[in-house]
Amino acid sequence: MTQFSEPAGADAAREPLILPYGQHRPSVARSAFVAPNATIVGDVMVGAGAGIFYGAVVRGDRSPLRIGTNSNLQDNVTVHSDPDHPTTIGERVSVGHNAVIHGCVLEDDVLVGMNATVLNGAVVGRGSLIAAGTVVLEGERIPPGSLVAGVPGKVRRELSVDEQHAVSRNAQNYIELSREHRAMFS
């Protein structure tokens, strides 16, 4: 196996960019994982066991942004709050690669698929699944346990029991991944 040595200054490269904005400083739970190239700015609170993965950008520069316990933002996710629309991500929420979460509420146990977008004022009910590539429009209210797909996103049906379990397994998988990746940089 090939061994690679670390370049000079590698320790500094292991620190995520966590910045105050105005009088607000991000608060990140000690047990959370924040990837070295993730960015967190402003009035942001990251809960215990959460995972903010590689390339994610989390900006609470205009209003509060909250990420719940054991939730995860996968690679290259963008989360931003809007002056009239704070962002709240509940507990055990998974936000897939390259998704955009903007000024909305994701209740507990939600799975947002890769490349999906959830816009200002939307509320995604507990246990829902937003399919990959879906756009949830401003102000939409998604009932709990819904499967949402399309552009614009429409409720297609209620999730089956098997699909609900798959959403839970996804969250559990990322809880474990967050711990493992955190250990890599400890």
Compute the distance between CA of residue 92 and CA of residue 116 in angstroms, rounded to an integer: 18
pTM (2 d.p.): 0.92
Question: The domain 13-184 belongs to what CATH superfamily?
Answer: Hexapeptide repeat proteins (2.160.10.10)
Q: Which neighbouring-strand residues pair with 136?
A: 118
pLDDT at 7 over 50: no
Taking residue 41's Cβ as centre, other Cβ atoms within 10 Å add up to: 20
Q: Where are the domains of the chain?
A: 13-184
**Sign of the dihedral defined by the CA atoms of residues 162, 165, 171, 173, in that order:** negative
Q: What is the pLDDT of residue 40?
A: 98
Report how far Cα 170 is from the mean position of its chain's Cα atoms. 13
**pLDDT band, residue 186 (cuts 50/70/90):** confident
pLDDT at 10 over 90: no
Each residue of 89-112: pLDDT tens digit?
999 999 999 999 999 999 999 999
